[in-house]
A and B are shown apart, each in its own frame.
Chain A
Amino acid sequence: MKNYIKSIQLKNWFNFLGDYSENNFEFEPGFNVIVAANDVGKTKLHNAFRWILENKVILRKEDYQDDEAAYEAVSLNEKNIVKILNNKSYNAASVNETIRLGVKVHYVENSNQSKERILIKEIQIRKEPDGLKILTELKSVKKVERGNVLSTSELFEDWVKKIIPKNLRSFFLVQGETLDTMTPLKGDNLKRTLTKFVDINVLDKFLKTSNYASNKIETLRQDYEKKDNQGQEKLEQKIQEKTELENDIKRLEDEIEQYYELKEDALKKKSKWEKSFLKSKENRKLKNKLDNYEQKIENKNSKIEENYFRLKENYILNEFYFSKVFNINTQKEKLENSINFFKDIMSKRRSEIQINLDDHIQSMLYTLEKSQPKPEILERMIDEGKCYVCSHNLDNESKDYMKNILIPYFKGQLENQDDKFLDLYDEVHSLLNDFRYHQNRYETPNFNPFDRVIERINEAETAKESIEEEKEQFIEENGDSNVKTNDELSISTYENASRDLEKYETHIKNISGELEIKKNKLNELKNLRTEDGEELKESKNTLKAKRLEEFSSDLRNILVSIIDKEYNEFKNQLEESANKNFKKLTVTNKNLNAQSVKVDYKLAFKNQPDFEVKIVDQFGNNMSDGGGAAQTLRQLALVFGLIDMVDRVRHPFIADAPTSNMTANLAFTFYEKQLNSSPNQNIVMTKEFWDDQKNDLNSKGNELLDNIKDNQNSTFHIMTADKKIALDQPDLKIDEL
Chain B
Amino acid sequence: MNKDKLLKEILHNKELKEKYWNDIEVENINLNTLYRLADEEDNDYLKYLYVMFNNLDSTKNRITQSLTNLF
**CB proximity to A under 8 Å, residues B49-71:** 49, 51-53, 55-58, 60, 63-64, 67-68, 70-71
B13 within 8 A of A: yes
B24 to chain A, nearest CB (A): 14
Our pick among A216, A544, A562 for the contact of B44 (Cβ within 8 Å) is: A544
Interface size on A, residues (CB 8 A): 27
**CB proximity to B under 8 Å, residues A162-206:** 199-200, 202-203, 205-206
A551 touches B71 (CB 8 A): no
A216 in contact with B63 given A206-B52, A210-B52, A544-B44 (CB within 8 Å) = yes
B1 touches A212 (CB 8 A): no
A217 within 8 A of B: yes
Total of A-B residue pairs, C-beta within 8 Å? 72
From A217, A541, A551, A552, residue with most partner B Cβ within 10 Å: A551
A209 in contact with B63 given A202-B2, A545-B71 (CB within 8 Å) = yes
B15 touches A213 (CB 8 A): no
A547 within 8 A of B: yes
For A198, the closest partner residue in chain B by CB is: B1
State A210–B2 Cα separation when bound (angstroms).
16
A205 touches B56 (CB 8 A): yes
B1 touches A548 (CB 8 A): no
State A541–B70 Cα separation when bound (angstroms).
10
B1 touches A217 (CB 8 A): no
A155 within 8 A of B: no
Residues on A with C-beta less than 8 A from B19 are 554
B10 touches A202 (CB 8 A): no
Residues on A with C-beta less than 8 A from B2 are 199, 202
A149 within 8 A of B: no
A1 to chain B, nearest CB (A): 27
A558 touches B20 (CB 8 A): no
Residues on B with C-beta less than 8 A from A566 are 1
B68 touches A220 (CB 8 A): yes
B36 within 8 A of A: no
A555 within 8 A of B: yes
**CB proximity to A under 8 Å, residues B8-46:** 9-10, 13, 15-16, 19-20, 44-45
- Please classify how large the interface on chain B is, using the bins under 10, 10 to 19, 20 to 34, 35 or more: 20 to 34
State A205–B57 Cα separation when bound (angstroms).
8
Residues on B with C-beta less than 8 A from A216 are 63-64, 67
State A200–B68 Cα separation when bound (angstroms).
28
State A216–B63 Cα separation when bound (angstroms).
9
State A217–B70 Cα separation when bound (angstroms).
10
State A206–B52 Cα separation when bound (angstroms).
7
A562 in contact with B71 given A544-B44, A548-B44 (CB within 8 Å) = no
State A551–B5 Cα separation when bound (angstroms).
20
A209 touches B70 (CB 8 A): no
A553 to chain B, nearest CB (A): 11
B9 to chain A, nearest CB (A): 5
A551 touches B63 (CB 8 A): no
B6 touches A203 (CB 8 A): yes
State A369–B33 Cα separation when bound (angstroms).
145
State A421–B3 Cα separation when bound (angstroms).
154
B56 touches A200 (CB 8 A): no
State A213–B69 Cα separation when bound (angstroms).
13
A552 in contact with B71 given A205-B56, A209-B55, A566-B1 (CB within 8 Å) = no
Residues on A with C-beta less than 8 A from B9 are 558, 562
For B46, the closest partner residue in chain A by CB is: A551
Residues on A with C-beta less than 8 A from B45 are 547-548, 551
A548 to chain B, nearest CB (A): 6
A114 to chain B, nearest CB (A): 30
State A566–B1 Cα separation when bound (angstroms).
8
For A554, the closest partner residue in chain B by CB is: B16
Our pick among A199, A212, A554 for the contact of B63 (Cβ within 8 Å) is: A212
Residues on A with C-beta less than 8 A from B1 are 199-200, 202-203, 562, 566
Residue contacts A-B, CB under 8 angstroms, 23 given? A202-B2, A202-B6, A203-B6, A205-B56, A206-B52, A206-B56, A213-B48, A213-B67, A216-B64, A220-B67, A220-B68, A541-B71, A544-B44, A548-B45, A548-B70, A551-B20, A555-B10, A555-B49, A555-B52, A558-B9, A558-B13, A562-B9, A566-B1
Residues of B within 8 A of A (CB): 1-3, 6, 9-10, 13, 15-16, 19-20, 44-45, 48-49, 51-53, 55-58, 60, 63-64, 67-68, 70-71
Q: A206-B56, A220-B67 are in contact. List 7 more A-B contacts (CB 8 A).
A: A199-B2, A203-B6, A209-B56, A216-B64, A216-B67, A548-B70, A554-B20
Of all A-B residue pairs in the complex, the 3 with the closest CB atoms, nearest first, are A205-B56, A551-B45, A541-B71
